[in-house]
Amino acid sequence: APATSTGQAVTDDTVTVGILHSLTGTMAISETGAQEAEKLAIKQINESGGILGRQIKIIQEDGASDWPTFAEKSRKLLVNDKVAAVFGCWTSASRKAALPVFEKENGLLYYPTFYEGLEQSKNVIYTGQEATQQILDGLNWVAKEKGAKTFYLIGSDYIWPRTSMKIARKHIENVLGGKVVGEEYKPLGDTQFGSVINKIRLKKPDVIYAAVVGGSNVAWFKQLKAAGINSKKQTLLTISVTEDEVLGIGGENLEGFYSIMKYFQSQDNPNNVAFVKAFKEMWGDDSVIGDVTQAAYLGPWLWKAAVEKAGTFDVDAVVKASEEGDIELTTAPEGYVKLHPNHHLWSKARVGMWKKDGQAEVVYTSELIEPDPFPEGYQ
Amino acid sequence: MNMSTNTDFTLAIEDLTVSFDGFKAVDNLNFYLDRNELHVVIGPNGAGKTTVLDLICGKTKSTSGSIKFLNKELTNLSEHEIVLAGVGRKFQTPSIYENLSVMENLEISYPKGRGVFGSLMFKHDAVVRDKILEVATQIMLEKALHTEAGLLSHGQKQWLEIGMLLIQDPQLLMLDEPVAGMSVKEREQTAELLNKISEGRSVLVIEHDMEFVARIAHKVTVLHQGKILASGDMKDVQKDPKVIEVYLGH
Amino acid sequence: MGGYSYDELGAIFAMQGFAGISLFSVLLLMALGLAIIFGQMGVINMAHGEFMAAGAYTTYLISTLTETYIPAFMPYYFVFSIAAAFLVAGTLGYLAEFILIRHLYKRPLDTLLATWGLSLIMQQSYRSIFGAREVSPTLPEWLMGAYPATDMIDIPINGMFVLGLTIFTTLAVFYLMFKSSWGLRVRATTQNRVMAGAVGINTKKVDRYTFALGCGIAGMAGAAFTTIASTGPTTGTLYIVDTFMVVVFGGAASLFGTIASAFSIAQAQSILEFFISGSMAKVFTLLTLVIILMFKPEGLFASKVRR
Amino acid sequence: MSFVYEKLFGDKKGLIGFCILAALILVVFPVMLDSFRLNLVGKYLTYAFAAVSLVLLWGYGGTLSLGQGIFFGIGGYAMAMFLKLEASSPENTAIQSTPGIPDFMDWNQITELPLFWMPFHSFSFTLFAVLVVPTIFAYIIGAAMFKRRVGGVYFAIITQVVSVILTVLIVGQQGLTGGINGITDLRTLNGWDITSDSAKTLFYFINCFLLLAVIIASRFILTSKFGRILLAMRDKEDRVRFSGYDVANFKIFIFCFAAMISAIGGAMFTLQVGFMSPSFVGIVPSIEMVIFAAIGGRMSLIGAVYGTLLINFGKTAFSESFPELWLFLMGGLFIAVVMFFPNGLAGLWEDYGHHLTKRLDFIKNLFSKSKSAADAIELKGSKS
Amino acid sequence: MLEVSNLKVCYGQSEVIHGLDFVVPKNETLAIMGRNGMGKTTLFKSLIGVLPSSDGRILIDGIDVSKKESFQRVENGIAYVPQGRMIFPSLTVQENIETGMEVSKLKKIPDDIYALFPVLADMRKRKGGNLSGGQQQQLAIARALVTNPKVLLLDEPTEGIQPSIIKDIANVLNEIKKLRDITIIVSEQVLSFTMAIADRIIVIDKGSFIHEDLREDVDTDKIKAYLSV
Ligand SMILES: Nc1ncnc2c1ncn2[C@@H]1O[C@H](COP(=O)(O)OP(=O)(O)OP(=O)(O)O)[C@@H](O)[C@H]1O
Ligand SMILES: Nc1ncnc2c1ncn2[C@@H]1O[C@H](COP(=O)(O)OP(=O)(O)OP(=O)(O)O)[C@@H](O)[C@H]1O
Ligand SMILES: NC(N)=O
Ligand SMILES: [Mg+2]
Ligand SMILES: [Mg+2]
């Protein structure tokens, strides 16, 4: 048998990993899909013989939507349980809280969420897209397809929307030659958009560009519709609505609006068809799969690839193997991804148009985009 | 009829008025109280007696008029400042700390350590202890020092509240219906107590029990609809037909 | 306001008015139930938001059942689901009172802790039953759109619906609490439970039904809010602070105060939000509220009773 | 001697309780727990500061604050600002567009350290700020509210509103505060690695000593006349006023003191956990702190510590064993305590501790039989 | 009529009422006198049911109410005027009186109530808590009278009331007793009032009855002596 690293929860026939997401609290809404996907991937890996001949065992912890709890549980998984890798976190805040623990204890975190970038830790593999991979192509697309010149930016008030908007504004003003006619942030969880909607009416932007998260999203779209703003009159592009959110919002309220993601459940390729089928088999016919869910699914597979390449579970070795830039997944539901030496994935950006049934029709797919967490000219 | 502003009275109330949503509970009242005087205010229910005490001790703010205590204007002082100036008041329904023992009730009323830091450093020494014991004996609660005040009977609560005032040694002592709910014997004891403590200070009492009033009053004032109806010594007042009409009954 | 025509400004002014009114009706509807439970009964019900969620989930459930079994009924089900939400949340409230609250009337602050525990349990129940994700009932078409009054003024139908429901509920609550003999019993009981018993009022029954009524109204609010927001296990926590604020700011025992308070908070928030960012609008609204409370220590409409 | 002893520990039962607590946190935990668990306990004990402050403010003072998180947070943030500046030396932040300022400022296009951050370069200023800033803030809130006689549930809601305001501000002004992420990635204190096990152990003991000191100081307040006035105020505030006390001043003092101890807890939290975030300023932690105090028995300083430990142990243990269902257990625990132990853990101790002191009394009586007359009217120690 | 046998009441461990037995027939007014803290209020509270009795039976017109809640006792015909008023402070005067009418099913406040307490008519719309002490006491009596009780309990009803109205109250109680089949129990300190209404006087001391007299036989000095032991 290949060498096992000392001090890790690895036996001759098992290896233990951690899953750390919010099962309770406000973030459980978003994080449920991610942990389901991770469990699916691990189950599939186990069924195909495991990693280095070992079956993967899972220890699950609840981050409870509380950042310090993420730090506490990370430490527990790494120090007490000595897990070989952790799949987890969703919000940037929870990642930031856990990060020092991973660095201190030299753990390995697979983080699935699209996020603001500006970070690159040795101990984290980012399986979601960083800001430039999500934003730029989407803006280019509306500028070109819809002839958009004026943009109204609206988001929830925290770091990811603000950073994303900052990049968007730079791109709109410096690259597209357009104009930002309004920029607005609402407190997290807010459900009243009446005044903002009035402001938007007054400014008559070509595009509403939105990064409203969580429960606010539902209020936002329902109230837009109730104010008579629909896709027939208004172009709207959002970076924060996936199939998960649509479940709450209701497809009828989103019909004709666009999201920019790297993955949509409706994507028609054999990888995805198989993935969707397996996911529904495991988690029920009603379940939906959003962008982050898919990115979370990639985590265990990327880890498997790196471990097998390194021939050991040792974190340093696995990280080193990951940093060589040649780990790729041809079986990724989103199509094809490759791990960049900067710990992020090469991926494509896609624009989906929402339909009444809650699925999106992919209307644009970009080329494979190189991840660039510290983009020049956008800071 | 404006009197000179500086008076020899312990308490001088002039042109005092208070109205509640237009209802004048006290109406242009003038009232004076001497040192060493035990003055009883009587009058029909709702005449404004309690309200006058509320005004003096700062619980209610007057609409107009002045209240001078030892030539000090009280109307713009806050409650605790009025107490510090030397006014003590017993409420119509006994107002004591039900969750504290009799001893603690008296200790809190002891006029030392009334500031934040003073109270932190306050020492419960022999002087304090003796004083508490003395007052407790006066109010016949010396055996109940460690009883929780909430467990006392109604009459005992009344006494305790009087004791809490005595320990403050105020210049002006105001008692709102001090013997309500007391038995005959206890009324007598209270009357004795009041006669004793009225020396060296002024006492203002509100009562409906005429026997009791007769026993203690140096002077009686009858209040009616916020105004003075009659004033003088007990015998005269009792015979006044207006007083009999509105208050005593035939 | 350079660059805009009078028409536009007029329209925005009108629309802004609707925004304020619709926020007002939302706040008031949230607060009505609590105005009874907290304002009248003095129970600090931290689970109030969860009772709203119960109403919302009931609506979701009925929507799903209707869609599956009697799709023809879809345009009408919503009205019935409001009644059902009232009954479900009311029944839950009835049980909560029976099991928990009735033991705590002598210790009102403990109700805060017990109902906090209750809210955790209710949230987890929703999660276990309906899943962690947000759900949304399919709403009848007629409720969702806007009524184009002029080509610039669109009146949100859901907003008007909530407003109508709020007015109806407020009137009903007002009648019940202040004009009916049942309301008299409630107010007597909550002021002095022992004495109310001694004048012949069945205080236990009054307590139980009052609490159930407050929860039922919360449930109705929850049902109504499915038209403007989503439903998830933690939906209730979004509402709870604002709800308490509205009730307290109004002067806890005054229904009229609750109305005035909801109105002023809503208008301040929506007008400010038009000029400054949402977060700062919230900060300023709240700050104003703190300062006003400083000068009106018992709320806008404190009941003036001699102490 | 007996005076000092009474002042600091209350009656005999108080002393025994205090010693048991000290032994538990200073000896038993460090011996029994590994460094990970010990650090966890250390984190819990920082919440205990806030719980103890609520015993004073709420249990005795009758003033419920649903915003103790404000002060816990301010203390924590003050410490975090210092540590963050240290972590943001130009060398450490060379890759930023503006090296030498905290990373989150750089992400938010801030190019210069804001003025109010400047003093936090100094450790002594930081210690000063931890103690004084929350106290002043509490003074402002307290003076504004108590002088105007805002009380009871109105005060509770106002503190809650203030904590919402502060949270919204911190989250909204992320360039200055780190936003919702908080201030993270704190590593050294004057060059000393605070993430090491030895540092954590040391902080644990410092934390324990501070907590015990805070309990003794609080005892001192409660056993003084001040403590009885607090009780009296809770009972009949008007009467206290008419006994010549400026009630507002007493409330302001206890509110400020409570704020200060909560802030110490916050600062110790930052040191032990290595970051600070707006989630501690918010409503949920503030309510949880009230729950810690209540579970412990709201009139018991020591009970508050046990309440904090019990709830947090429960949270950790339940959530580790039943990650999907642990909220049922927590909710059930709260309800059970309220329903069956209305006086919290301290209520249990009252009953059990009773037997213990009786036995001690018996032994003591063997040696001295005399009871002076003065004893007969000596004040009974307060109920903690 | 009211029959009480072996009534015992405790606060926690300590027994305050030690097995009282007494019967009050219809149309009789019984006065219970005693020094402060002798258990008068405690006795009344246990009769109306706001304090549980630890032993004994209470029969109203032959119906045992000792296990019933206080509202059920009121339905069975007891009415209670507590010591210390206990009116509902934020209800108006009118509403306060109406709370008593829930049981008697009266629709309108009877005129004779306002005739007895004219001030209550004037202050109909005012909050009960804003009344003066004596006005509140009158309100509490009015609230009890509108229940049309078979047994009326009055705990120091004249406390804080002006002399002329005390006289009126005495007349009314005597009137009511004549007009209706009613049993009245009153605890009083004021001997003159007691003498004006009571048919029988019982002295209570430390929770036990120590003396009983019909009015005709009352020796005021002897009673006074009992009251000042
Ligand atoms: N806050 C208030 N609002 C309205 N009316 C009030 C208020 N306070 C007092 N009053 C009214 O003022 C009048 C005077 O009341 P006050 O309590 O002074 O009477 P009193 O002379 O003490 O009577 P009693 O002998 O019955 O105690 C009463 O008619 C009362 O109803
Ligand atoms: N809640 C209580 N707990 C314990 N003991 C009590 C309680 N209430 C009253 N007592 C005690 O019971 C005894 C009887 O009290 P009660 O109030 O019945 O006296 P009373 O005869 O009505 O006196 P008063 O004439 O002063 O009103 C007193 O000794 C009192 O201390
Ligand atoms: N990374 C995010 N979306 O918080
Ligand atoms: Mg009076
Ligand atoms: Mg009595």
Domain ranges of chain B: 11-248
**By the 8 A CB rule, do E226 and E211 touch?**
yes
Question: Nearest-CA neighbor of C209 among C98, C52, C85, C100?
Answer: C98
**What's the mean pLDDT in E110-116?**
87
Q: Read off the pLDDT band of D357 (50, 70, 90).
A: low
Is the CB of residue D208 less than 8 Å from the CB of residue A227?
Answer: no
| pLDDT, position D364 | 58
The residue-averaged pLDDT of B183-188 equals 83
- pLDDT at position E37, please? 81
Ligand 2 contact via B44 beta carbon (within 6 Å): no
* Higher-pLDDT residue of C163, C144: C163
pTM for the full predicted model: 0.91
pLDDT reading at B28 higher than 90 = yes
- For residue B244, how far is its CA from the centre of ligand 1 (angstroms)? 21
* Complex prediction ipTM: 0.90
Question: D366 or D223: which carries more pLDDT confidence?
Answer: D223
- Whether the pLDDT of residue D371 is over 50: the answer is no
User: Which residue has better confidence, A292 or B94?
Assistant: A292
Q: Which ligand is nearest to the CA of B94?
A: 2
% of chain B with per-residue pLDDT over 90: 68
* A interface test, pick of D95, D163, D196, D320 with most A CB neighbours within 10 Å: D320
Give the model's confidence band at D2: pLDDT under 50 very low, under 70 low, under 90 confident, else very high: very low
Locate C265 and state its tokens. 């908070």
User: Which residues' Cβ are closer than 6 Å to ligand 3?
Assistant: A 91-92, 113, 115, 160
Q: What is the pLDDT of residue D21?
A: 93
3-state secondary structure of A232: coil
Q: Do chains B and A touch (3 or more CB pairs under 8 A)?
A: no
What pLDDT score does B74 carry? 93
Judged by CB atoms closer than 8 Å, whether chains meet at E165 and B45 is answered as: yes
Helix (H, G, I), strand (E, B) or coil at B211: helix
Q: Residue C119 pLDDT > 50, yes or no?
A: yes
Indicate whether D379 pLDDT > 60. no
> Which ligand gives the minimal distance to the CA of A116?
3
Query: Which pLDDT does position D375 carry in this prediction?
Result: 37
Question: Is D171 in contact with A187 (Cβ distance < 8 A)?
Answer: yes
Owner of token pair 């979701």:
C60
CATH architecture classification, B11-248:
3-Layer(aba) Sandwich (3.40)
pLDDT for D10: 60
- Find the chain E residues whose C-beta atoms sit closer than 8 A to any C-beta of C: 48-50, 69-71, 74-75, 79-80, 82, 86, 88-91, 95, 98-100, 102-103, 127, 129-130, 143-144, 147
**Which of A372, A293, A340 lies closest to A118 in space, CA to CA?**
A372
Nearest CA to ligand 1 atom 6: E130
B146 neighbourhood in chain D, CB within 8 Å: 377, 380
Q: Please list, in sequence order, all residues whose beta carbon lies within 8 angstroms of the beta carbon of residue C153, skipping any fewer than 6 positions away.
A: C11, C14, C15
Indicate the average pLDDT of chain A: 92
Listed range (B70-84, C116-130, D8-22) with the worst mean pLDDT: D8-22
Partnered with residue A235 across adjacent β-strands are A207
Per-residue pLDDT, D383: 34
Q: Which two structure tokens, joined as six digits, stand for A39? A: 């469990």
Confidence of residue D122 (pLDDT cuts 50, 70, 90): very high
Mean pLDDT of C65-78: 91
Q: Report the alpha-carbon distance of residue C237 to residue C115 in Å, rounded.
A: 13
Nearest alpha carbon to residue D266 among D105, D62, D64, D51: D51
Which of C37, C120, C247 has the highest number of chain D CBs within 10 A, making it the mutation to test binding with D? C120
Single out the residue of E64, E65, E57, E130 nearest to residue E91, CA to CA.
E130
pLDDT higher than 80, residue D350:
no
What would the mean pLDDT of B182-200 be, rounded to a whole number? 86
D272-D141-A186 Cα angle (round to 5): 70
Q: Is A65 within 8 Å of A25 (Cβ atoms)? A: yes
Euclidean distance between CA atoms C239 and C26, whole angstroms: 10
Task: Tell me the pLDDT band of B4, cut-offs 50, 70 and 90.
Answer: very low
Asked if residue D241 has pLDDT above 90, the reply is: yes
Please check whether residue B95 is in contact with residue D236, taking contact to mean a CB–CB distance below 8 angstroms: yes
* CATH topology assigned to domain D15-340: ABC transporter involved in vitamin B12 uptake, BtuC (1.10.3470)
Q: Are D48 and D24 in contact (CB under 8 A)?
A: no
Q: Is C49 among the domain residues?
A: yes
C-beta neighbour count of B154 within 10 angstroms? 21
The pLDDT score that the predictor gives to residue E28 is 93
Give yes or no for residue D27 having a pLDDT over 50.
yes
Question: Is residue E83 lining ligand 2, measured as CB closer than 6 Å?
Answer: yes
From B49-63, B133-147, C7-21, C162-176, the region with the lowest mean pLDDT: C7-21
Chain D CA closest to residue A102: D185
- Answer whether E37 contacts ligand 2 (Cβ < 6 A): yes
Phi/psi at A376 (5° precision): -65, 140
CA dihedral C212, C214, C215, C219 (to 10 degrees): 130
pLDDT at D374: 33
- Total domains in the fold of chain C: 1
- Angle at Cα A123 formed by Cα A120 and Cα A128, nearest 5°? 55
Atom of ligand 1 at shortest range from CA of B208: 25
Does D18 have pLDDT greater than 70?
yes
Output the pLDDT for position B7: 59
Give the 3-state DSSP-derived string for chain E, with helices as H, strands as E and coil as C.
CEEEEEEEEEECCEEEEEEEEEEECCCCEEEEECCCCCCHHHHHHHHHCCCCCCEEEEEECCEECCCCCHHHHHHCCEEEECCCCCCCCCCEHHHHHHHCHHHHCCCCCCHHHHHHCHHHHHCCCCEHHHCCHHHHHHHHHHHHHCCCCCEEEEECCCCCCCHHHHHHHHHHHHHHHHHCCCEEEEECCCHHHHHHHCCEEEEEECCEEEEEEEHHHCCHHHHHHHHCC
Q: Which residues of E24-36 are buried (b: 16+ CB within 10 A; e: fewer)?
A: beeebbbbbbbbb
Smallest Cβ distance to A199: which of C152, C274, C282?
C274
* Pair of tokens at residue A348: 């494509």
Q: Does residue C204 lie within any of the structural domains?
A: yes
Distance from CA of A19 to the nearest CA of D (A): 11
Q: Which residue has the higher pLDDT, A293 or E12?
A: A293
Indicate the DSSP class of residue D28: I
Asked whether E90 lines ligand 1 (CB < 6 A), one says no
- In terms of CA atoms, which chain C residue is nearest residue A155? C278
CA–CA separation, E222 vs E211, rounded Å?
10
> The domain containing residue E16 runs over which residues?
2-227
Mean pLDDT computed over every residue of chain B = 90
pLDDT mean over E139-145: 92
Which of A91, A111, A245, A293 best tests ligand 3's pocket when mutated (most atoms within 8 Å of CB)? A91
Fill in the amino acid letter for D93: T
Average pLDDT (A185-207) is 88
pLDDT at A30: 85
Would the CB of E134 count as within 6 Å of ligand 1?
yes
Mean pLDDT, residues A196-222: 90
Q: Which residues contact E35 (CB under 8 A, 6 or more apart)?
A: B155, B183, B185, B186, E205, E227, E228, E229
D347, D2 contact by CB (below 8 A): no
pLDDT tops 50 at residue D265: yes
At B22, is the pLDDT very low, low, confident or very high (cuts 50, 70, 90)?
A: confident
Kindly report the number of other CB atoms within 10 A of residue A174's CB atom. Answer: 11
Whether the predicted pLDDT of B50 surpasses 70: yes
Residue in B with minimal Cα distance to E225: B185
A305 near A121, Cβ under 8 Å?
no
Which residue range is the domain that position C184 belongs to? 10-240
**Which residue type sits at E49?**
G
- Residue A165 banded pLDDT, cuts 50, 70, 90: very high
Distance of CA C260 to the CA centre of its chain: 14
At E205, which CATH number? Answer: 3.40.50.300
- With 70 as the cut, is the pLDDT of residue B54 above it? yes
Q: Which residue in A24, A18, A8 sits closest to A82, CA to CA? A: A8
Residues B18 and B24: their CA atoms lie apart, in Å, by 6
Least confident of A16-20, C101-105, D47-51, D136-140: C101-105
pLDDT at C10 (0 to 100): 80
pLDDT in tens, A74-125: 999 999 999 999 999 999 989 999 999 999 999 999 999 999 888 999 999 9
pLDDT of residue D358: 63
Q: Mean pLDDT, chain D, as a whole number? A: 87
Give bridge partners of residue B31 from the DSSP assignment.
B13
CA distance D256 to B48: 41
In the prediction, which pLDDT does E13 show? 84
Per-residue pLDDT tens for E194-218?
Answer: 989 999 999 998 889 988 888 888 8
pLDDT for res D5: 56
- CB-CB: which of A31, A184, A248 is closest to C277? A184
Q: State residue D378's pLDDT score.
A: 34
Q: Which two tokens stand for residue E6?
A: 């072996």
Q: What integer pLDDT is reported at residue C222 of this predicted model? A: 94
Question: Cα of B219 to ligand 1 centre, how many Å?
Answer: 23
pLDDT digits (tens, 9 = 90+) for A230-280: 999 999 999 999 998 888 888 888 999 999 999 999 999 999 999 999 999
Which residue among A24, A66, A158 places its CB closest to the CB of D179? A158
Q: pLDDT category, D380, cuts 50, 70, 90?
A: very low
Domain with CATH 1.10.3470 in chain D: 15-340
Using a CB–CB cutoff of 8 Å, tell me whether C134 touches chain D: no
Residue located nearest, by CA, to atom 4 of ligand 3: A91
* Number of domains chain E is built from: 1
Residues of C in contact with D335 (CB under 8 A): 100, 114, 117-118, 121
Given ligand 3 and candidates A111, A114, A344, which is best to mutate, with the most ligand atoms within 8 Å of its CB?
A114
Structure-block tokens of residue B130: 């003796």
- Which residues are registered as beta bridge partners of E204? E209
Q: Check whether A337 has a pLDDT greater than 90.
A: yes
